[in-house]
Amino acid sequence: MRDASRQDVGLAPEASSYLAHLRRSGTLSENTLRAYSEDIRALCRWLDGHSLCVSDLDHARLRSYLGDLVRAGYSERTVNRRLSSTRGLLLWLSREGVAVGSGVGAIPGRKLSSRLPRTMSDADAARLIDSCDGTPKGVRDRALIELLYATGARISEASALDVRDVDLAQGQVRLFGKGSKERVVPLYHSAAQAVGEYLEASRPRLMRPGGEKDALFLSSRGWRMSAAALRDAFEAHVAATGLDPALTPHAMRHTFATELLGGGADLRSVQELLGHESLSTTQIYTHLSVEGLKDAARLAHPRSGNAK
């Protein structure tokens, strides 16, 4: 988190103190802290451009800020996140005895569109896996893709994996989600086989003196691969196979959840496997399954006009 501290230079003192408070709390993941930092920095840039201070924010000015975000083309999700980050900052300041503008909490978030998560077919996943060659990096990437497909892991969770978190004898992997919450997810045979091949034949060739000893996924320089580096490796295979560039590692997570529900898994089990805090977060995938049933009905029902 030393890098995040350096990024606070130039922030309004109140904002810098708030981010330091969040880091000290130890309850947020590095990715969440980074998102908060980006949101607060964006707010401070806007305030500076309007010759305002954090304590000047009130209902009207915050609405103006959000309006500028919308006009700049930011998504509803980003606007809502920045509103939430700003509310958190102002609530903390109020608790610290700093006077802030009134009426901020009355501003509603923007309604999110009902777009469903992007998923991929089993054939697409097979093409990605087959695009990995027999080089140490290729074997590593095959292990990564198989693991993502088998577990629905977030790319940040894959980056955080250590060798000891994988139990090939039991066919399972231990993942650490948001808030360091631990869960154990099974690996199907081909995924365990791919990870085993990587551990036995390729990972030793990627290790370097003074490099990482514990990390599961190593770069060509022997260091733990960051989430961004793993994402780049994944997307390189998407490009090489000519698949839709919208197929990201998170699409693999969506696919995992959708296929489980389509195969008859109950919603609570899928929630546990995904590491979702709330069941409502998992319920989006029931909509995907319903869409699949609708498509099947359209094609097969004698009154649909499509049945043969």
Confirm whether 149 is a catalytic residue: no
Choice among 82, 140, 253, 254 that is catalytic: 253
Say how far apart CA 85 and CA 83 lie, in whole Å: 5
Nearest to 140 by CA among 70, 213, 194, 177: 194
Confirm whether 178 is a catalytic residue: yes
Choice among 34, 118, 178, 183 that is catalytic: 178
Confirm whether 276 is a catalytic residue: yes
Choice among 154, 203, 231, 237 that is catalytic: 154
Choice among 61, 81, 118, 250 that is catalytic: 250
Cβ neighbours of 53 (radius 10 Å): 12
Confirm whether 285 is a catalytic residue: yes
Residue pointed to by tokens 């004898």 = 169
Confirm whether 253 is a catalytic residue: yes
| Length of the chain measured in residues | 308
Residues recognised as catalytic: 154, 178, 250, 253, 276, 285
